Structures are given as structure tokens and as C-alpha cells.
């Protein structure tokens, strides 16, 4: 998801807007944020099927986790819109290729932080994994429901 939002989404938005005013895409681009935010509870329901402790934690947290998730998605998608605008104004293929190469390196660096979040967060994730139920195959099946 990080690679898609951090790189591909902005490039795709700029590409479909080639030769047009990219701002005409902005309303639809922002509308997707609302759609994604509306799916957060469904995703939580699916995740609670493989990690039952999520339900009481979610109940206790109230709307805080949903608001935080929606806010985080909005920040990520705002960054994608910035990428779209920066890429959209590039004229030459060489500039476009250099932009993609540099942006790809930035996204990769951020991805490494997600993969290796440090000792504290890694420990928390390990504790969460202990509470997961089922095989990987069963987890995927439950998440697909």
C-alpha cells in the first residue's frame, strides 16, 4: 500500500491528466478519501476475526482509532496529490524518469522504517501476533469475507 500511495497513485493521476488541467481530477481524488474512510469499520471487523482482542480494544478506543486512520490516509493521499502535481509539470521523459527514480528511493526508505519499526513497536507487534488465531490460509480466508 505504501508503494502504491507514495509513488504509483500520484504518477497515475498525473499520467491520466497529461495535456489537461490536473485540478479537474482533484474533486474525485478527494472523494476517494471519504470512500476509504467509510471502509475502516469493515476492515476492523475483518481483522477482529483473526485477532479477537481487537473488538474490546476498538470499543474502548471509541472513534479515536478510526479518526487516526482516516487522518493518516488523508496525509498519505495528500502526499500522493503533491506527487501528481510535481510530476504533471515535468516536460521531458528524462525529467520524469529521474523524478520517479528519486521518489522511488524516498518511498523505499520510508518502507524500510515500516518494515523495521524499532524494538518497542516490534515487541508490540509480536504480542499482537500471539493473539492471532488460525493458519495463514484461514486468516486470508477470513479477511476476504
Q: 28-77, pLDDT tens digit by residue?
A: 999 998 899 899 988 888 888 888 888 888 888 888 888 888 888 999 99
Instruction: Inform me whether the pLDDT recorded for 129 exceeds 90.
Output: no
Mean pLDDT of 73-90: 94
What's the domain count of the chain?
Answer: 1
CA–CA separation, 68 and 24 (whole Å)? 28
Q: Which residue has the cell 470499543?
A: 59
How many residues are listed for the chain in this entry? 145
Model pLDDT for residues 91-118, shown as the tens digit of each residue: 999 999 999 999 999 999 988 888 887 8
Q: What is the largest CA-CA distance in the chain?
A: 54
pLDDT of residue 75: 92
The contacts of residue 133 (CB under 8 Å, 6+ apart) are 50, 51, 52
Q: What SS3 string covers 59-88? A: HHHCCHHHHHHHHHHHHHHHHHHHHHHHHH
What is the domain range of residue 29? Answer: 2-144
Amino acid at each position: 500500500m505504501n508503494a502504491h500511495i507514495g509513488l504509483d497513485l500520484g504518477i497515475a493521476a498525473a499520467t491520466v491528466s497529461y495535456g489537461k488541467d490536473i485540478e479537474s481530477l482533484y474533486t474525485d481524488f478527494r472523494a476517494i478519501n471519504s470512500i476509504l474512510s467509510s471502509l475502516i469499520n469493515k476492515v476492523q471487523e475483518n481483522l477482529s476475526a483473526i485477532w479477537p482482542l481487537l473488538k474490546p480494544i476498538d470499543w474502548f478506543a471509541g472513534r479515536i482509532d478510526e479518526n487516526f486512520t482516516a487522518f493518516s490516509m488523508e496525509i498519505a493521499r495528500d502526499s500522493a496529490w503533491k506527487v501528481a502535481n510535481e510530476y504533471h509539470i515535468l516536460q521531458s521523459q528524462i525529467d520524469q524518469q529521474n523524478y520517479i527514480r528519486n521518489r522511488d528511493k524516498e518511498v523505499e526508505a520510508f518502507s524500510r522504517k515500516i518494515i523495521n519499526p524499532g524494538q518497542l513497536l516490534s515487541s508490540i507487534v509480536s504480542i499482537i501476533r500471539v493473539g492471532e488465531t488460525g493458519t495463514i490460509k484461514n486468516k486470508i480466508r477470513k479477511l476476504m469475507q
